[in-house]
Amino acid sequence: MTEEGTSTRVPNTDVRYQVGAGHAVCQLRDVLDRVGDKWSVLVMSLLTDGSKRYSELQRAIDGISQRMLTLTLRSLERDGLIERTVTPTSPPRVDYRLTAVGATLSGQVNALIDWAEGHREYIAVARRAYDEAQAGN
């Protein structure tokens, strides 16, 4: 017999992951943080068609600062999603391109961008309606 308000459910004793640095859940979150970052998504989308120079990327991404683009490119390179190639000219030419693994992700990234473009107006209308309803409360 159980008291009112107590659960008869058996607690989950099959804990697969521990929370903490270096464990599977945190590693997954780190990957999702990288590939879900708005600047990373835009950079990867631009690199889908082939390599691009830093200046090409900066011109194509409205609103990104030089510092943020540099940090984003370094992070994507560190994660093995893009490659940086330096051609020894004067001044040096630096190109970025997707790695083989980055290319497997680019299709998913482009699908997300297509979805966002297709539903941008719907979301704007929903936000306005929500904000108006909240202002009335």
Give residue for tokens 């600047």.
Answer: 39
Q: Rounded to 5 degrees, what angle do the CA atoms 116, 52, 42 make?
A: 15
- DSSP letter for 92, please: P
Q: What is the pLDDT of residue 110?
A: 86
Q: What is the pLDDT of residue 1?
A: 45
CB 17 within 8 A of CB 24: yes
Q: Give Cα 121 distance to the centre of its chain.
A: 22
CB 46 within 8 A of CB 60: yes
77-134 per-position pLDDT tens digit: 999 999 999 999 998 899 999 999 999 988 888 888 899 899 999 999 999 999 999 9
5-46 per-position pLDDT tens digit: 444 444 444 434 444 545 677 777 777 777 777 899 999 999
One-letter identity of residue 26: C
Q: What is the pLDDT of residue 22?
A: 54
